[in-house]
Each structure stands twice: as structure tokens, then as C-alpha cells.
Amino acid sequence: MRGVLQVAAILASILIIAYGVLITEDRADPRWLGMLVVVGGLWIIALWPRRGYQLARSARPLVHLALVLAVGFGLVTIQVLRAQLLDRDRILAKASDPAAGVVDLRRYIAERQIERGRILLSDGTVIARDGTDKRGIRYRVYEGPSSYLAGYYSPGLYGAAGIERAFDRELSGSSTSGWNAWLDGILHRTRRGNDVVLSVDPRLQELGQTMLGERAGAAVLLDADSGAVLAFVSSPTFDPNQLSVPLGAPTEDVERARAYLEMLQKDGRGPLLLRPIQGLYVPGSIFKTVTAAAALQSGIATPTSVYRDDGALAVDSRVIIEQNRPDPTRVSFTLQEAYGYSLNVVFAQVGLELGAQRLEEMARAVGFEERIPFDLPVAPSQIAQTPDFLTSRAGIAETAFGQGQLLVTPLQMALLTAAVVRDGTIPEPYLVREIRSPDGGLIWSRQPKEWRRAFSGETAAALRDLMVWSVEHGYARPARIDGVTVGGKTGTAEVGDRAPHAWFIGFAERAGKRVVVAVVVEHGGSGVQAALPIGRALLEAAVQGS
Amino acid sequence: MTRRGFSLRWLELQLLVIPAAVSLIGLLTISLARVGSTRWSWGDLTVSLVFIVAVFATSFWLTLLKVQGDQILLPIVVMLACLGLLLSQRLGPSLPEGGVWASLSERQLVYLVMGLALMWVTVGLVRHFFWLKRLKYTWAVLASFLTFFTMAFGTDLGSGARLWLDLGPITVQPGEVVKVLLVLFLAGYLDDYRELITSSYRVGPFSLPPLPYLIPLVGMWGIAVLAVILQNDLGNALLLFGIFLVMLYVASGRLLYVVGGLAAFAAAFVVALRLVPRVAQRVDIWLDPWSDPTGIGMQPVQADLAFAHGHILGTGWGFGFPQAIPVVATDYAFAALGEELGSLGTVAVIGLYLALVMRGLLVGSRIRNSYVRLLSVGLVSVLGLQTLIILAGTVRLLPLTGITLPFISAGGSSLVTNFLLVGLLIRASEFSRG
């Protein structure tokens, strides 16, 4: 009977402790403390000496005292084990939450024991590495004009961005596990993080950067077959070195870096923005590729379908004026010609014929309104800002030729172009090609993947013809490259009163190598003059360099 | 006691090998971790060697005095003191300090040796306990005098309480001695009046305790507690209260005293919660330190982080960062051990204290002489309760009160007094049967 009671008390105390750990977050939660009082009582029951056990009268208080003290030590043990084993992750997570306002110095001290991995471009050019200052403190050094691709890493400012942030586990080596990592840990050896190798080719990257120059804008060049980003140009940009402050840096260094960061954040030109993925722009005529894809896919038009364009089109109360006709006397154009000459009136008619639903379906099929899978967060491209915009005919017409409420990222438009040359499939784009261990061993290598199918192979082939025609006979003629199959589309996107955004999307094929490009020059004027030369140069360098 | 020749205390000597080895390994680890290489010299181990010599000399001194007492108490205490010494060697160079006569690491060794020396003296002087008992009122007067003298002339070393006496180069904390004096007084008084306290008289249906004989007792204790509260020393007030209750219960065997005492304590606590802002603040930080993690909640938050970083095996001596906890060397010594020795270390330390208390009570229960038994139980309760109060504070089982962790916390007064106490216990254990 007594034995049963003891076992029951022990079991009950275990159950109460388990339940308490599950429902309470903190060791001083009043509910938990209340449970501990109950547990203490149960233990006293469990440990109470048997009735038959003969105790001297004088010894009885001593036994009770021993019981109470033992139970007290037992409860202390539960509390300390809870802190060290069960609540450990909770406590550490709480401390690393910036909102808590706690500085867990131990974490940063541990980071000093880590030599952070490097970030390299595809040919081995180092853009970010760890250096040591004259006091022997490790800090992050960024090298070369493309170093902004790394983002920044600044323990002194408690912040990181870009690849430094997205691949922190690899760079800091905390993703490494196994025998050696464990051994390094207990022997307190300086741990070295892994190197992150980008797919960016510095030759193409610098070419794009130079050609864009001081102008704000972006260019993204992809290998269409693998989805590898070969150039990822953004302008204006920032100097990550000025943000890199180690822990324990003098206050004035920290203040200088903080002031620089605040200046960047306040700068209206957005130097912290990675424009190829975070810049959202009105696409203008390059969006006609999507409209054409929808028309071809749905079968309402072929490249040779004929449309009438007599210089203006009234849609409800809106009148669309045509300024792009090569010859003002001509009034009938095939779809192919309309694409090559970028005729708004024709595409307004195509759009109206398609209707909002089919147009929107195609936009979604190529990736609009979705997070594109990528190594860094990509802003979703948008079809319309207000939900009822596409219910009006004028809205559909404007959207069809690339104005309306469209907002797109350069990466999105490059992927669209990739679908054209890949028979309708979109690759999963990537910036990080591989992870290498400090001694150069390959830890992980990217396996190119298809993201999705945007449209059928026939549609892709027809679109490809449109784009090639546009370069050979249409307005994108300056993009021609001898000996290379080039297709492209220019765009000049109206943005209110200011100069329009200049766009170019295009592809080049040579000897089995297929590359695609999307270029935007903010307020750059005409697409042919501002954006096309950059795109052409990148395509040419990409196919000829190999 | 006996007239036999010298016989070595073999069990004690064998057990002392463990703390000796731990001190050597621990100190070597600490010094190697500091320089970050595997080169070492005997000079790095000086502190350990001094410690080992002092400890074994103590055992031989007990042999020389033909002490027949318990042979397990000393090794347990020495093991704890060894951890305290290692912790001081670990923390000393990491903590900023100035204006003191020696560094933390040096001071702790000196205090340890002083403590052992005082233990030699205690064991030498106290052979028959009757004079201790006869002087019971002297102890009471001395305790009151020390308390009020500290209150009047004490200094505040930054804790908000005037607990220290400034004696030129060193400062002492009389509160540490007062609790031993209180035990000496209570043991004598309760033993003399045991019959009366145990008896009761009836008023109608109620059986009341003999109030007249309790009054001097409660008065004496009340003065001590009041003084301590006025000094803002909540931990010691709690400790004195606990000792009082325990000894009253052990002497009388009447649960009524404990229940009444706890009820009085609960009432006092509720009043203090309203009236004393310091008490309310302590409770708030206990329940939610994260509301002000860099202000008053900094100690418990950083201690939680230390425990959490310790995990199972700990970071190892010298590889944690316990200096992030304010006042780590005294209040949060246990958290520092938790970080560097992990949960294996914390459980082991709790186990050592539990072993010490249980051994002490076991030895005490076998003592025939009622005064010596009461005294030894009182002394063991001092250690047990003090450890429990500060450990419960560091692990957030109870609100934190700033008292020292016996044998481990940095601090001379505490260490020296506790060794005196152990000396008394070892002598008392000679009265044990069998």
C-alpha cells in the first residue's frame, strides 16, 4: 500500500514536471513555481519514512529536516537543469532577438573564434574576406567594384545583408557538422567558415557596371540553360567596407558606420537596393512579349495575323495614340511586325481580344505575383495595384502594351526571355554556384533546375521568331551581332512627367550557348538608345567569351 | 578521547586525493586556457600546491590532536573549497578590480589558508563543549554587539547594504560570524529550557506553548532580524529566521512552532512587499528579469545566458564568459560554474552540498549529548539553508538575496567562518555513537 503510494507520488511528480515544461516558457512563471511546490510535496510523501521504521523520538525532527532540505536541493536541481538543458534554446533565442534589448556578449566572442568564409566570383576573384586590423581584431574586407554583391556584414552594427546574411550559416561555418567540427569546438580551434562561390563572371559584371556608369538602373544576365546569373548589375550602390565594423571597434568607427548606413537608408536613389531583384519598374513595351505569348498560346493570333493600326485607337474614354509606326501611311501590320515596331494600338487590340483573364493567366504563368525562388529575396512583379484595374477595357488595353499598373523586376523579365529560348520552360535562377570548404573541397554544388513551364514549345518558337525579327528588321536592329542569333525587344516605359525608363530584353545564341539579358536604365530615355547598347554588349561578351 | 597512539585518518586522506587532483588539473586547465598554448611550468601550479599542502597538513593536524571525529565532512568541504579556489583563479584576471590589497585569485588562497588555520585553532581549543554552552549569553551579547556596531560604523561596498567593517587593509563581514554566534546561543538556551519549551499549558480547549520562556528567545532573534532588515540584508534575515525555526523544531519536536513561524514569515513578507520597495523590486526581477534586461534584470538574465551556454558539458574552464554577470564572484558563483562546467558540474556541486548536509545530519543524529547534537544540527542547518537560499536565488526558484555560496563564493569572512564551523562539527562528531 505504502509502496504504491510512493511510486504514484514519483510518477505524478514526473508527469507534473513534464506538463509544466510544456506549458510554461520561463522558470519563474508562477504556474511553474506552483507546480514545483506540488512536486516538492509529492517528494516528501515519496520519501517519508515508513511507519514501521523505528525512530528515536529525538531523531524524528532531524529526519524531517533532512527531508525538507533534500527536497529543496532537488527543486534547485530541476530549476538548473531546466535552464541548462530544456530552456537553453529558448533563452538563447530570446537573447538574440534584437527586440529584447539584450546583448549576449558570448555569441560575439564566439564569432571572434570564427574566420568567416570568403565570397568569390566565378573565376575565383575574392569580393569579401576576413582581415585583421592593427589591434588584431578580425573584420570584414570587401574588394573590387562588384563587392556590393556580397551585401555587408557588420557585428559592430549588429547587422548583415545580402549574401552575407542569406548564407551566414555557411560563411560562419555553423552549418558544418561532423567529427571535425566537433573536435574543433572542444579544442577551441579557430573555426573557418566555408567559401561561397557566386556564378557571376567579373568580366561581364564589370562590363555592365561600366556601361551603366553613373546612371541608376540594373542589368541581369543569365545563362538560359542553367539559370546561373552571369552579371548582376545595380546602380547606384554602396561601399560595404564603410559598413564593416568589428565588435569592440572604437566608438567613433561604429558611429561613422552608423551614420553612413543612415545616409544610405535616407538616400532617395536607394543605393542599398539590389535593383535586379528588388527594383520594381514599369515595363513598357517589353511586356508586349507577355501579351504576345498569351495571344499565341490561346490561339487567337499567329505571327502572321493581320491587325489594323491607323494611328489612334479609342478605348472607352481613353484614346491611344500610335507614335511607333515606321511609315505613317501604312495601316495594316502582322503581329510579327507589330511586335518588331512595338505598335501600341495593335497590342491594345490583342489585349482586348484576350480579355483580362487570359492576359493575367499568362503573366502569372511567367512568374508575376510570386516569389521567384532565388538565393536572395526577390520582389514579386505585379500585374495591377488596384484589384479592379483590369475590369476596365482601358486598363486591359494599357496593360497589354506594358503601361497600366504593371511593375516588374529585371530578373522577372530575364526569366521570361529565358522561357522563349528554352522552349517555354523557366529555369530556377541562382547566384550562388557552390560552397567550398576552407581547403577548397567542394561541399555543395548547384544542380540546375527547371522552375516551371510558362508556355508551350510552339508558343516559345513563335515568340523566338518575333524577337529575332525585331532585331533583324524591327527597332531593335542595333542589337544585331555578326554570327550570333540575337532576339530582343526594347521598351520605353512612361513614368509620369519624368524621362521614361529605358528597357531592353534579349537573348543571344551561339554554338549551343544561350544567354538572356534584361536591362533597365531609370529615366534613361529611349530603350534603343539607353538600354539596348548595354544589353547588346553583355550578350556579345557572354557568347564570345566562351 | 582515547589513549591510543596516533592513527592516521586513512579514509579522510584517501578522499582528499580527489580534491587535490581536481585542483591540479583544474588550475592547469585554467592557466593553459588563458595563454592558449600547451606549455606549462610548475609555477603555474603554485596555488594548487599550496592548497594541497594546507589540506593534507590539516588532516595530519587532526591526527596529531587525536581527533576521532568524522572523516567524510572534511573531504566534501575541501572539494567545495577547491572549486571555489579554482573559480577565483579563473575569474580573478577577468574581473576589473582596484584598491584592494591583493587580486581576487591571491586573496581567495590567503582566505582559504586562514580558514584552515582557524579550523586548526578551533579543533585545538574546543575539545569539551561545556564551556561553549556556559558562555551562551556571551555569544548572544557578542552577536548583538557586532550587528549594531556594523549598523553604526559599517560601510557599504556597493550592494546598498552596510554589511562590512572597514579594518584598514581588509574589510570583514560580521554578519557571517553572527549566524554562528546565534547558533551557539540558541543551542545553549534551547538545551537548558528544552523541557519547558516542549511543555504546554491549556487555556480552555487550546494547548498553548510556554510563552514566557519564548519571549527572551524571540526577543533576541527579533533584534537580530530587525537589525539585519534595517541593514537591507534580506538574505541573512531569511537565513537567521530559518535557523531559528529549525533549531526550535529540532529542540522541541513541535510542528506548531514551524507552522506559526512560517505563518509569521508569510505575513511579514506580505507587509514587506508593500512597504519595502527593495523587496518588491527583488520579486519583480525574479518573476520577469527580461522586462529590464540591461538594468536591474541584468544579473538574472546574464546568469540565465551563462547557464544556457553551459549546456551539458560546459564550455570548460576559461572558455566561457561569466564575467558578463554583474557580481559574479559572490552572488552568481554557481552560474559561473554552470557555464564552464555545464550541467554535469552544477549537478555535481548540488550533490556535494547535499552530501555535506546529509552527512552532517547523520553525524548529528548519532550524538548522545543533547547540547552538542543541537549545536551540530544548527551548524549544519546554517550551511544547508544558506546554500539553498543562494542556489534557489541563482536558479530563480526564489527571489535572489545576496548571500554567499558557502566555500565557493569569493569572500574571506564567509570562507573563514565556514571553516570554523566545520571545525566545530568535526569536534562535535566525536560525541557520536559507534
The pLDDT tens digits for A338-348 are 999 999 999 99
> Which stretch of A77-81, A443-447, B365-369 has the lowest confidence by average pLDDT?
B365-369
Give the per-residue pLDDT at A186.
67
Mean pLDDT of A39-43: 94
A541 and A404 both lie in a single domain: yes
Task: Evaluate if residue B2 carries a pLDDT over 60.
Answer: no
Closest CB to B388 among A33, A76, A94 = A76
pLDDT at position A438 is 87
Task: Using alpha carbons, list the distances in angstroms from residue A512 to A508, B75, B226.
Answer: 10, 82, 93
The answer to whether B272 faces chain A, any CB pair under 8 Å, is: no
Mark yes or no for CB contact A75/B397 under 8 Å.
Answer: yes
Instruction: Determine, for residues A81 and B384 on separate chains, whether the beta-carbon distance falls below 8 Å.
Output: no
- Same domain? For A121 and A47 the reply is no
Residues A436 and A535 in one domain: yes
Query: Which string of DSSP letters, residue by residue, matches B252-280?
Result: H--HHHHHHHHHHHHHHHHHHHHH-HHHH
Residue A211 lies in a domain: no
- In whole angstroms, give the CA distance from residue A397 to residue A353: 10
The reply to whether A37 touches chain B by the CB within 8 Å rule is: no
For residue B325, what is its C-alpha cell? 554577470
Per-residue model confidence (pLDDT) at position B319: 83
Asked, for residue A216, whether it belongs to a domain, the answer is no
The H or E element containing residue A318 is strand A318-321
Give yes or no for residue B369 having a pLDDT over 70.
Answer: yes
pLDDT in the model for residue A92: 82
Is the domain of A76 the same as that of A192? no
Asked whether residue A328 is assigned to any structural domain, the reply reads yes
* Whether B377 and A64 lie within 8 Å, measured CB to CB: no
The structural domain count of chain A equals: 3
Is A218 contained in some domain?
Answer: no
Residues of chain A positioned with their CB less than 8 A from the CB of B358:
66, 70
Q: Span B108-117, mean pLDDT?
A: 93
Q: Of the candidates A293, A532, A87, A128, which has an alpha carbon nearest to the alpha carbon of residue B396? A: A87
CB proximity A95 to B under 8 Å: yes
Task: Say if A55 is an interface residue toward chain B (CB within 8 Å).
Answer: no
Percent of chain B, pLDDT > 90? Answer: 35
| pLDDT interval class at A133 (50, 70, 90) | confident
Average pLDDT, chain A: 89
Residue A506 lies in a domain: yes
Dihedral angle, C-alpha A418, A423, A426, A431, nearest 10 °: -50
Would you say B174 and B232 are in contact if contact means Cβ atoms under 8 Å apart? Answer: no
Could you say which residues from 390 to 409 on chain B have a Cβ atom under 8 Å away from some Cβ of chain A?
A: 391-392, 395-397
Residues 354-373 of B with CB under 8 A from A: 354, 357-358, 361, 364-365, 370, 373
Chain A CB within 8 Å of residue B100 CB: no
- Do A426 and A491 reside in the same domain of the chain? yes
Question: How far is it, in rounded angstroms, from Cα B170 to Cα B107?
Answer: 10
Verify that A308 and A242 share a domain, yes or no.
no
Q: Average pLDDT of A85-113?
A: 75
pLDDT at B203: 64
Q: CA A66, CA B381: separation in Å to the nearest integer?
A: 9
Average pLDDT over residues B148-167: 72
Which chain A residues contact residue B391 at CB under 8 A? 73, 76, 80
User: Residue B216 — very low, low, confident or very high, per pLDDT cuts 50/70/90?
Assistant: low
Q: pLDDT at position B270, please?
A: 85
Q: For position A530, which CATH number holds?
A: 3.40.710.10
Q: Confidence class of residue A239 from pLDDT cuts 50, 70 and 90?
A: very high
The Cα B16–Cα B18 span in angstroms is 5
Judgement on whether residues A282 and A368 belong to the same structural domain of the protein = yes
| A248 and A356 fall within a common domain | no
Query: Which of A147, A234, A244, A285 is an active site residue?
Result: A285
Residue in A66, A80, A103 nearest the CB of B361: A66
Pick the more confident residue, B9 or A292.
Answer: A292
**Average pLDDT score over residue span B136-155:** 84
Averaged pLDDT for residues A495-520: 93
pLDDT of residue B326: 83
* A253 is a domain residue: yes
* Domain termination residue (choose one: A98, A127, A144): A98
Single out the residue in A71, A98, A125 at which a domain terminates. Answer: A98
Confidence bin at B198 (pLDDT 50/70/90): confident
The three cell numbers locating residue A79? 530549476
pLDDT at B1 over 50: no
Query: What CATH code is carried by the domain that includes residue A251?
Result: 3.90.1310.10
Mean pLDDT of the B279-283 span: 84
Could you tell me if B293 lies within 8 Å of chain A, comparing CB atoms?
A: yes
Judge whether residue B136 has pLDDT over 70: yes
Task: Residue window 296-335, chain B: list those with CB within 8 Å of chain A.
Answer: 301, 304-305, 307-312, 316, 319-321, 324, 334
Q: Radius of gyration (Cα) for chain B, nearest Å? A: 22
Q: Which residues pair with B162 in a beta bridge?
A: B156
How far apart CA A64 and CA A40 sit, in angstroms, is 13
Across the interface, whether the CB atoms of B290 and A87 are under 8 A apart is answered: no
Handedness of CA B373, B376, B381, B382 (dihedral sign): positive
| Distances from the Cα of B16 to the Cα of A22, A431, B73, B80, B415, angstroms | 43, 64, 11, 12, 19
Same domain, A117 and A248: yes
Residue for grid cell 561601399: A239
Averaged pLDDT for residues B346-373: 93
A133 and A93 part of one domain:
no
Question: Is A329 in the same domain as A473?
Answer: yes
- What is the pLDDT, as a whole number, of residue A53? 61
Residue A524 CB partners (closer than 8 Å, separation 6+) = A215, A217, A499, A500, A501, A502, A530, A531
Per the annotation, the verdict on A285 as an active-site residue is yes
- Cell numbers representing residue A334 in the block: 502582322
Task: Give the per-residue pLDDT at A125.
Answer: 92
- Of A28, A65, A100, which is closest to B250 when you measure between CB atoms? A65
Q: Answer whether residue A406 is part of any domain.
A: yes
How much is the pLDDT for A368? 94
- Would you state the cell numbers that stand for residue B355, as one nine-digit string? 552530501
Residue A127 lies in a domain: yes
A12-26 pLDDT, tens per residue?
A: 999 999 999 989 888
Amino acid A51: pLDDT: 65
pLDDT, position A411: 96
Containing B141, the helix (H) or strand (E) segment is: helix B136-153
Tell me what the mean pLDDT of segment B309-337 comes to: 87
- Residues A13 and A528: their CA atoms lie apart, in Å, by 79
Helices (H), A88-153: 88-96, 105-112
Q: Which residues partner with A453 through β-bridges?
A: A425
Instruction: Name the residue facing B343 among A75, A84, A186 (closest C-beta).
Output: A84
Q: What's the one-letter identity of residue B406?
A: P
Q: What is the pLDDT of residues A190-225, one digit of tens each?
A: 778 899 999 999 999 999 999 999 999 999 999 999
| Containing structural domain, residue A173 | 113-198+238-259
Tell me: do A20 and A48 sit in the same domain: yes
pLDDT band at A264 (very low <50, low <70, confident <90, very high): very high
Q: Does A93 contact B at CB distance below 8 Å?
A: no
